[in-house]
Amino acid sequence: MSAVDDLFTELRGSGHKAFMPFVTAGDPDLEFTAAVLRELAARGSALCELGIPYSDPIADGPVIQASYTRALDQHIKVSQIFDMVAKVTPTLPCPVVMMVSYAILYRHGLEEFVKRAKSVGVSGAIVPDLLVDEAAELAGICAVEDFSLIQLVTPTTPRERAVKIAQSSSGFIYFVSVTGITGERAKLPDDLVDNVTWLREQTDLPICIGFGISRAEHVSALAPVADGVIVGSAIVRQIAECASDREAVVRDIGEYATSLMEALKVES
């Protein structure tokens, strides 16, 4: 079992739900990324998601795309990200997973990437551009290494295919709340809860919901049906506004996360 499996076993046993923030590695630099991860973990985040910058992201909206561009403009390399993660994960009370393009894994070598990621304390990977029909090799490597392979189900995924995705995933299923790209939204789809409820009947894996979640009312509405919620663009936007007072930005992000975690609390 990976650390992600252990996390959700513990959460389900206690009746708690996971708050899962996303940050881009190297935006605006790796030192700041480490500070944000420490703050989010200290505030009680159950799991932190670290985005690996990529020049051609498949589903990210303008806020996260811009963060990737800022990081790449600093010539951030995957090896540098691994070095930063190796230093920060021993200080965190929660698992870290990477959001990473399959192209990056393929270029490094699937087994080599997974082993390197695990060696620095990463517990799994979300690979948004990995087709389930082509996931067997990576899924096999991840199973051997006790490394979670987290795959995405979208509102337009045919139900038969959604079941297949669930069967080849591990750790949890990332349920995309809206059709389209990441980004803050005023309202989530009316059929979201029904779709997640159906998927829950098809799998024992935890289901965590992301894309578009930025407000306490979103979190409160999803808490009864989701095992966790993922919040990215709203946090990345605050980082984009980082100027000279970095400590204040880190503190503001922590306070924002705390407000959403309060909304996530449901009766066990």
Provide the H-helix boundaries in the chain: 3-14, 30-42, 62-73, 78-88, 102-108, 110-119, 136-145, 159-168, 192-200, 216-222, 233-240, 246-264
Dist CA 46 CA 14 (whole Å): 13
What is the strand order of the sheet 48-51 is part of?
148-150, 122-126, 96-99, 48-51, 18-24, 228-231, 207-210, 173-176, 152-153
Q: Tell which residue, 182, 188, 204, has the closest CA to residue 51.
A: 182
Q: Which is catalytic among the residues 27, 39, 60, 227? A: 60
Please indicate whether residue 60 is annotated as part of the active site: yes
Whether residue 182 has pLDDT greater than 50 = no
Supply the pLDDT for residue 266. 58
Q: Which is catalytic among the residues 5, 27, 39, 49? A: 49
Dist CA 90 CA 97 (whole Å): 14
What percentage of the chain exceeds 70 in pLDDT?
91
Whether residue 178 has pLDDT greater than 80 = no
Please report which confidence band the pLDDT of residue 215 belongs to, taking 50, 70 and 90 as the band edges: confident
Mean residue pLDDT of the chain comes to 90
Please report which confidence band the pLDDT of residue 60 belongs to, taking 50, 70 and 90 as the band edges: low
The CATH number of residue 154's host domain is 3.20.20.70
Tally of domains within the chain: 1
Dist CA 134 CA 118 (whole Å): 22
Q: Is 220 exposed, middle or buried (0-12, 13-18, 19+ CB in 10 A)?
A: middle
